[in-house]
Amino acid sequence: MGFTLKSFDVLKDEFERGVKELMEYHKVKEEENLPTERQREIQFLRASINKLNSSSVTDLDKSGKDPHIKARTLTGLAYLFREMISDTYYIRSPDNSKFQRILTSIIGTNEENVLGEEDVFSLTSTAMKFVSDQIFTNVHSKKVMLENTIYSDINGYGVSTPKKLDNLNVLWKKGNAILSAERNLIFDNSVDILIKEVKQRKEEEENQKKKEEAAKTGGHGSSFWNFGRRSDHTSKGTTENDENKVTPTY
């Protein structure tokens, strides 16, 4: 099992097809006519895609050791937005959201392609690092450069727009909430695995100890019982000899 990541090019194509599918679903010909929240989510994801397109692998990962970082970043962002949409459905199932279903399809999860706790943590942390790199002057600074980011012109994601940063706040808090929850799950699972390993190791040590003790006694139990068997055999032999003896008559 496990999760298989799609390539960045495939993800980009599926995203654009998904946008067209969403427009057909809402029976509109322009993205501007989509529901407001969907417009902003699409704008955010497209701005991220454009930035990923223009970035090299080393721009995103200084070590250059992650050739799939663009795909992991986009998949992580899609997952993050899917979960944010799910949170808005209190009564109805999140599956009632067309865009939520589209994002699920883009991510590629199904009965056979399953996201585990470590997958979710890795994808979300990669996505959150990307967003952080876009909105902070540097990783050690508390100053946020929201006036000049790839998201500045998206209402709710930059201070250049009239609305407050409600959307960015929700995204930031949701991302950190996911990371915290998955980190706890990973820890709990690791503890369970460790407990099982220790128990199994102790059982193996006990079995090995029993085998060694059996080997020392020749596989017949304790030396006491071995001595008993030899005594019985000797006594029986003596009795038979006594019966065959001829007692001399004087």
Structure confidence by residue, pLDDT tens digits, 27-54: 999 999 999 999 999 999 999 999 999 9
- Residue 22 — pLDDT band, cuts 50, 70, 90? very high
User: Across residues 219-247, what is the average pLDDT?
Assistant: 50
Quickly count helices (H) and strands (E) in the chain. Answer: 8, 0
Q: What secondary structure does DSSP assign to 154-200, as a single string? A: STTT-TTSSS-SHHHHHHHHHHHHHHHHHHHHHHHHHHHHHHHHHHH
More confident residue, 194 or 108: 108
Residue 150 has pLDDT above 50, yes or no: yes
Residue 233, pLDDT score: 47
CA-angle at 77, arms to 75 and 82, nearest 5°: 95
Rounded to whole angstroms, the Cα distance separating 97 from 89 reads: 9
Nearest of 98, 35, 108 to residue 76 by alpha carbon: 108
Residue 62, pLDDT score: 81
Residue 71 has pLDDT above 80, yes or no: yes
Q: Does domain 8-195 have CATH number 1.20.1440.330?
A: yes
The region of weakest confidence among 21-30, 77-86, 149-158, 240-249 is 240-249
